[in-house]
A and B are shown apart, each in its own frame.
Chain A
Amino acid sequence: MLPLNATIVKINEESPSVRTFFFDYQFETMKPGQFVMVWVRGVDEIPMGLSSKNSITVQRVGEATSKLFELKEGDSFGLRGPFGVGFSLPSKEEKTLIVAGGVGSAPLAPYAEAASAAGSEMHTVLGARSEGDLIFEERFAEAGNVYISTDDGSKGTKGFVTDVLSRLDLSAYDRIAVCGPEIMMASVFRLLEDRKVLAKSEFSLHRYFKCGIGVCGACCIDRSGLRVCRDGPVFSGVQLLDSELGRYTRDASGRRVKI
């Protein structure tokens, strides 16, 4: 599929370094957790989780995202997707816990909405560095209860999402969906493993992508060899046992880089 041309219709500033770009195309079949390849023409093409059927939510971290931040309403970029495996949706009787850190909220906000629409009771642990960095607090609050943690204590519990998680009765939940910085996800992974609830958890990984369609192998993780772009980006906790999660990633050349 050639990239489709998407025109920006609205830009929301979510935090000083995070913006949501709404575009004039709806990915009707999108499952929360799936991603699109965003082509900033003349610069690069980068994977971004869909934060709704017609938006991506982007943190400015490098060249491509900085160029994206220069775009205005009416400007356009290319989009391919939606790609990959998303979060599995709960059924009506199931109770769902979301653990979102920083811009990891992006794929989880549409998940919270879809899960809530399916009738699942939703709880969210939402973490960020500071109050101003909390992303989509209102969207999670609309779907259910929200527990907040901030590193600096400016809102909610002072500390990390794991400080909130350690006080919750995790056996009460049927599904646990996690996305955030890898260090955070690795801590959550260890906690869920200790509590023996890994089997009902799902994590959304980020790795360097080249092709984005499961052919080139640049994003394969150890030791399973699973492709993050095609077999993921959402993996069950069990799939990530004995994996590179929290230990290393690979750069564009394929070299291992410590996390």
Chain B
Amino acid sequence: MYTLTGLKLENPTILAAGVLGTTGASLCRVARQGRAGAVVTKSIGPAPKTGHPNPSMIKLDCGFLNAMGLPNPSYPGFLQELETAKKDSDVPVIASIFGGSPAEFKEVAEGLLPGKPDAFELNVSCPHAEGYGAAIGSNPCLVEAVTAAVKDVVNVPVWVKLTPNVSDITCIGNAAESGGADAVVAINTVKGMAIDIESGYPVLGNRSGGLSGKAVKPVAVKCVYDLYTALEIPVIGVGGISSWQDAVEMMMAGAAAVQIGSAVYDRLDIFSEISAGIETFLQRKGYSDVKELIGLSHEMV
């Protein structure tokens, strides 16, 4: 058993937001069949949103490009899905939420409280939804205000998911910590786009979007490494993890746990595979606890 911001996890692999998290049944499947240590829901906002037109996700050689556009049924519409996930997943369920202002974040968090999420993850990092996500997450004052507003109305841990599309991610991380965040999650996708050369059209329906998968792992490792130095609160690492080696690397950079998103494309049981790989690695290297890995590279000078 493993503790993260007070939550008890069977293993340190967590399903990332926006992946297989639209329905309660899907979250349960990832938890039970995939053996994720915890699951994060699709980001939920104040009003129903259909998202951007398709294509909304494209596989590239180096990773994935997506611009979903925060599709969600709104918090009243999502409550029954959250309840299903809570009832049948047997792992902590973290509600990812977004809004356009501190008041909207507060409204959504309060609206989802009856579903008893184990924690909230604040999406201040989606790179392709006007007025939401990174529009807030690149402004430290807003990040602090949003975090404080949610902390004010909930009594479960609050994680803040950060965008790498800023000049200094530690400045945003500090703002989240000042607002009372229990952890930060880094990173969301890196801005990107692809163009169809036969027609000249950008491929994504939203024209541009965010890059995930293998290509962004070094970016994520660096962000996690810097945040680990700058902050007191735990850093949850996400970005391009698709093997136990990636997870160990992210933990050595400073991640207290890892989230896995795009890699579910390969297989759903990626979570059990990665946690088993970490265990074997710990034994081989003679570590008594996974905690010994966290931030290890900082000591290697």
Contacts and interface: CB of A to CB of B under 8 A. Distances in A.
Interface of A: 1-3, 5, 37, 39, 41-46, 76, 78, 80, 209-218, 220-227, 250-256
Interface string B26-46: 111110000000000010000
Given A3-B203, A217-B21, A212 B57 contact: yes
B26 A78 contact: no
Interface stretch (B101-109, B148-156, B194-202): B194-202
B22 interface: yes
Contacts of A1: 58-59
B111 interface: no
Interface residues of B, number: 46
B48 A215 contact: no
Given A218-B22, A253-B72, A210 B264 contact: no
Contacts of B64: 215
Given A224-B25, A224-B29, A218 B55 contact: no
Interface in B72-119: 72-74, 77-78, 81
SS of B interface (majority): loop
A217 B57 CA distance: 12
B53 A44 contact: yes
Nearest to B212: A215
Nearest to B88: A223
B262 interface: yes
Given A253-B48, A254-B42, A215 B19 contact: yes
B25 A223 contact: yes
B264 A2 contact: no
A46 B54 contact: yes
A78 B195 CA distance: 12
Closest 9 CB pairs of A and B: A225-B29, A45-B54, A211-B57, A225-B25, A217-B20, A252-B50, A5-B198, A220-B26, A255-B73
B25 A215 contact: no
A60 to B, nearest CB: 18
By CB atoms of chain A within 10 A, which of B23, B56, B64 has the most? B23
Q: Which among A209, A217, A250 has the highest number of chain B CB atoms within 10 Å?
A: A217
A211 B66 contact: yes
Nearest to B55: A45
A210 B68 contact: yes
B196 A2 contact: yes
A226 B244 CA distance: 25
Nearest to A78: B196
Given A44-B53, A211-B56, A253-B51, A217 B26 contact: yes
B55 A37 contact: yes
Contacts of B261: 215
Nearest to B33: A225
Contact of A45 (B28, B81, B205): B205
Nearest to A4: B198
Given A213-B265, A214-B265, A215-B20, A43 B198 contact: no
A252 B51 contact: yes
B60 interface: yes
B277 interface: no
Given A2-B60, A214-B265, A225-B23, A254 B73 contact: yes
B18 interface: yes
Contact of A217 (B23, B74, B262): B23
Given A2-B60, A217-B20, A253-B73, A210 B26 contact: no
A41 B71 contact: no
B209 to A, nearest CB: 11
21 contacts: A2-B194, A3-B203, A5-B199, A39-B54, A39-B203, A45-B55, A46-B54, A78-B55, A209-B54, A212-B57, A213-B265, A215-B64, A217-B26, A218-B71, A220-B22, A223-B25, A225-B28, A250-B22, A250-B23, A254-B42, A254-B77
A5 B57 CA distance: 17
Nearest to B45: A253
B48 A222 contact: no
A44 B48 contact: no
Contacts of A2: 58, 60, 194, 196, 203
